[in-house]
Each structure stands twice: as C-alpha cells, then as structure tokens.
Amino acid sequence: MILKFFNKNFYIILSVVFLIFIIDRLSKIYVINESTKNLSNYIYTSKYLNIRLIWNEGVAFGLFSFDNNLLYHSLTSIILIIILIIIYMVTKHVSLKRYSLILILGGALGNFYDRLFYGAVPDFIDFHINNFHWFIFNFADISITIGVLFMIILEIIDKSDYEKN
C-alpha cells in the first residue's frame, strides 16, 4: 500500500517542492550575506525595485506581527498544521489542484524553515512606484501567491462547470 504512494509522481512532486525550497533558501542566504557584508539592509536600489532585507515575524506580508513569544510560537504551530494538511491534500488530489498545492507547499516550507531557524522570515523584494511601496516579500511568497491564484482560478472554472449542469 505504501509502495503505491512512492511512484513516479511522488518523485516529481518532491523534486518541484525541493526546487522551490532551494531557490528560496539560496536567494535568502545571498541577501542575508550581502546585507551583512555591506553593513546595510539595502542591497540594490532602482526606480521600481529595491532589494532590501527586512525580518518578518508575522504571516504573509508582515500581517499579525507581534512581540509576544507565545503568540509567535502558536502561530508557527498553526502554520505547521496547515503544512501537514497541504501535504495530505497533495497526496489526495490528482487534478490540476495538486500543482497549485505543490507551489503553496514549497513556499510554505521555505518560510517555515526560516521561522524555525531565524525566528523570522527574511523578506527582500521591494517593488515601488515613487513613494508607494508594495509589501516586501521573497521567493517563497511568490510561490505561495501563484499557487493560491492558480487554486482560485481552478475553483472559478470548476464552479462554472457546475453551473452549466
């Protein structure tokens, strides 16, 4: 029964999740090292893009940031439970939804790793137009966002199929 699970698809899924995780880790390590070497959080600045290291203790885009260790660890525990649920859902879905879940899982594991080992998630991609700055994010956040958008699109398409019947 368990051998049935470890098929070709399992290794493809594992490879994609690992690739997302590695790209995220390498980008964060590079930015952290550059920030340390330059003694500045600003690594690169331009008209529309800054690479600027900040440490995010909250959830997505710095939401729910707080100074309380109990709340931080509770939030981290909830994120672990969500990751386990996503792993379960990846194993159960055989449709296109599986791929959106894989993107979400890869990004979630990248940010979860940072929470465990750094106590915060390093964010560094800062898009801006003049003085309007979007939330600062990282590659794991990009993967999660694309996965969620893909999931929403699939839900809308599936919903329209149900309405036709």
pLDDT of residue 161: 53
pTM across the whole model? 0.85
pLDDT of residue 164: 55
pLDDT tens for the chain, residues 1 to 165: 455 556 778 888 899 999 999 999 999 999 999 999 999 999 999 999 999 999 988 655 455 555 567 777 788 899 999 999 999 999 888 788 999 999 999 999 999 999 999 999 999 999 999 888 888 999 999 999 999 999 999 989 886 555 554
* Rg (alpha carbons) of the chain, rounded to whole number: 18
Q: Looking at residue 98, what DSSP letter applies? A: H
Kindly provide the residue ranges of all beta strands, DSSP E only, lying in 2-78, ordered along the sequence: 42-45, 49-56
Whether residue 67 lies in the annotated active site: no
Half-sphere exposure of 57 (CA within 13 A, CB side): 11
List 24, 114, 123, 126, catalytic entry: 123
pLDDT of residue 133: 86
How far apart, in whole angstroms, are the C-alpha atoms of residue 14 and residue 108?
14
List 67, 141, 158, 161, catalytic entry: 141
Whether residue 123 lies in the annotated active site: yes
